[in-house]
Structure 1
Amino acid sequence: MHRAGTRYGRYGLAAWAVILLCRLDAWRFLLLEFDEVTLDANLQRRAVLPFADPRVKRLESLLLHSTGEDKFNFTCGVVDEGIGDAEVTLQWEADVDRAKKPPGGRGRRPKPKSVEVLFTSPLRDSGLPRPRKHLLLAIPRPSQLERLLPRVAQMGVGHLILCGASKVDANYFRSHVMELQYLRKFLGLGLAGAEDPMMPKITVEADLQELLEGKRLQQIIPGAVSRVVAHPTPLSDGALFFTLSPDSSPTTQVLMAIGPEAGWEESELEMFAAADFHAVSLGPRVLRSEVATVAALALAEQMLIQPALR
């Protein structure tokens, strides 16, 4: 067996993982909301974003370390509209001396005030299929939800249902993170990573019982859906994920329910069972919401791609 330090360099495999994550931020893709885009006199789509915007900040190393360039060719998207080629131009304050170095060669270099995005081609379809997997997520702590939403969007979900549960603090619903504009912002960061302009549909349901016992869930996600609820149990006590094989019809969808980090209550699992959810296990360990959600969505995708796999 190779030692990590010899095969992967001085700092081992972990260093390469960090490098890979950093490379993700170098993707030349910006995703704009529909109301951020205007048409100029030439009927070209145009937008201006503050340089402090998180979508721009994640590209800072690319924009400011490219041998003094001010213009860049990007692929940009408009939410729920499509993607297109665009020219991204840095805009500076008039009195900024960009060549001037900070005193002693240290400190912060000047930064642009904004970036202008000018689409140079018509919008087109991204070519990505609409996700056929959906997520019902018991709301984690707001700080966790901020980290989780980009990963959910990058994995691809058609509908995101944020719900309450016995172990979910009711105060979470009053957090600013639960406002639609913030949910869309964090989801948008993940969509940009996947170069996908299609925003998941978002539904917030504080009352889990009302969601499961009435017709509300069928109204939110109509049609044939394989419903699956994940809960930490020993594998000997719970179904293995791939023992559940959905119908191979192209209309098949999967709705994955992920509970709080401590798991669902027994009474909640009974409600899921009554609502035709199949219980599955990701193993006996208690998993953080970020880990359980990404793992379950990856397996749900595999169920759709390879329905006969067991």
Structure 2
Amino acid sequence: MPYLHQIDPIALDLGQWTLPLLGSVHPRIHWYGIMYLLGFLVAWWLGRRRVRAGRLPGVDEAGFGDLLFYAMLGVVLGGRIGYMLFYDLPAFLHDPLLILRVWEGGMSFHGGLIGVLVAVAWWARRQRLHFFDVADFVAPLVPAGLGFGRLGNFIGGELWGKPTQGTWFDGWGVVFPRSLPEPFASMDAATLRAQFDAGLLDAFARHPSQLYQATLEGLVMFTVLVWYSRKPRPRYAVSGLFALLYGCFRFLVEFVREPDAQLGYLAFGWLTMGQLLSLPLILLGLFWLWKSRTAPTLMPAAETAQ
């Protein structure tokens, strides 16, 4: 049975305000922003626990706070820059100021990952720590943010999947109003609900690929990486497992996810930009796991002292 998506993306509307210099403003808090905040809070909570357990010798909670702050900047800046370069380069070249209009949407995980890696490398060098010791520490903190971010995509009714009609999944899915053709796209919520109840929108049901990704990239990866990193692992192992899992999960979900409208399929009638960008992660994950076989193991501070 299909489900009609009519979730308000605005969590809190603060009304119309008149402020000095700014004039009339209408501040609203979106669920997507709350999801980002929840992801950072989980990373902060789990990271502090791991620091207290001595999983990053020589680093205290204040030092971890600095690392998290730089990583947050890396996520936001890298995610936005990556989106413009990977997914909307012609528009960016036409109007470079688009990169500043974050309220218009557009974030890339792969760009955010590069931003986090740059932040980790810079912080690790300042602390005189091996880059992969820090990367292995950070990897289990990331999936919660990925999961919450995909929930934010679902609540916002964006980045939907392919139609389920005519496939093995015929008869179920989610009808996303923003994906509907005219005249349905112009209908108000009540009229659209009546059309849905009459069964006239069943043909437009789509895969809720955001929820697939929230489950795989968020819940599954979080569970596996937290469990795997509970005891000391050789250098590169945790980072390698993270890259391999994300690359595989993203590559698979892309088969039921609608490709970006401005790009479409890149090759073979099925290869998407998300899949192309995930292939290097899969290869890097396999390489790092192989490399970890002969790498040293960073022991927690408490165990080192014994």
Fold match by TM threshold 0.5:
no
Query: More helix by proportion, 1 or 2?
Result: 2
TM-score (norm 1): 0.20
TM-score (norm 2): 0.20
